[in-house]
Amino acid sequence: MAMNTVRVLGILTILSVSWSLPGAALGTEERNEQMNVSVIGEQMAKLFMVPLPQPFPKTPADYGLSYRDVEFPTRDGLTLRGWLVGEGADKVVIMTHFGYRANRYGYQLAHQPEGSTPYEHEIEFVKVAERLVEAGYAVLMYDLRNHGESDKTELGVGTGGHDERFDVIAAVEFIANEAATSGKPIGLLSYCYGANTSFFAMQEDQKVFENAGVKAMVALQPLSNGLYLKSTGVSEEIYEEAEAYYVENTGGYSLMAPIEGAAKSTSIPTRLVQARQDPNTDLGWIAELFGNIPVEKEMYWLEEPTHRFDGYNWFADHPQDMLTWFDQHVRTEVPVAETN
């Protein structure tokens, strides 16, 4: 999700040159070619496995927002950490960030590897939280496992949303049980990898969402690692090598995570948001996923953005696109008065 075509093709070029230098002692040309494919495939897989460490240059206080540091356990024994912003509000949004190149703060240009900058603008999720707080919501911003300040797993790799499903469940249970937020209606704001994770979480345990009072979700640009990698134009041979390495090193998961299947278990009204000109997705797949959502839903197309990451910045400048959905659904239900 967090790579662009130029970066991927650049790696392909660099690795191809380095492995074909004279004196590389690779044997025959066929052996040389096979090694190229194998090494490139491995590197491609790693791009979708190993989150990039990034600091926290700002906190919500730098935006004039009250907050406190929080931590909470997952069902599989990890501790997740985050910020609970504006906790005095009477409704809550849980924000789940996109993966690999981000954390709960956002995406930072200064901390991208040299020669690997898929987007030329900062992404500050606290700006989105600020819009939500202004509209009367508290916001839980937390780091997914293996990201930011949250615990790392034994393998230390992302799984495209599979294992991370326990993180969304943990966030929901935390808000439902925390004294300051217990009993308040909840919305989910889930970005890309976070959207994948949210769909898998509902497939895992619909009941926890119902019991906690989760009312709606805004899911922005879900996407499997496999679809992203295919969008870069890599050869089938390289893709197969990447898939094999990914499966072996993530506990058996595929690059092509079946998010569209998990969407069939969606149990809350969902607004699916997608940049129509996003070059890294498959709009047919997006349509399939949307069609699989069995509850109230709305497809909202972003017509202006031409870069996938523009979508991640969208709500900071266009908050009404998410607030309309949340205001419609995330509210305290008023009991109907009995009539004699």
Q: What is the set of domains in the chain, with CATH numbers? A: 54-224+257-329 (3.40.50.1820)
Residue pLDDT, tens place only, 245-260 = 999 999 999 999 999 9
Dihedral pair phi/psi, residue 220, rounded to 5°:
-105, 115
Please compute, for residue 26, the number of CA atoms within 13 A of its CA located in the half-sphere on the CB side.
18
Nearest-CA neighbor of 119 among 104, 101, 103? Answer: 101
Q: What is the mean pLDDT of the chain?
A: 87
pTM: 0.87
Sequence length of the chain is 340
What is the rounded distance in angstroms from the CA atom of residue 219 to the CA atom of residue 260? 13
Closest to 71 (Cα-Cα) out of 160, 123, 148: 148
| Alpha-carbon torsion (55, 321, 197, 45), positive or negative | negative
Q: Tens digits of per-residue pLDDT, 18-52?
A: 323 233 334 445 544 556 888 999 988 998 898 87
Quick one: pLDDT band at residue 139, thresholds 50, 70, 90?
very high
Calpha distance 94→83 (Å, rounded): 10
Interval 115-127: pLDDT, tens: 555 667 778 899 9
Half-sphere exposure of 98 (CA within 13 A, CB side): 26
User: Which of 80, 82, 178 has the alpha carbon at shortest distance from 129?
Assistant: 82
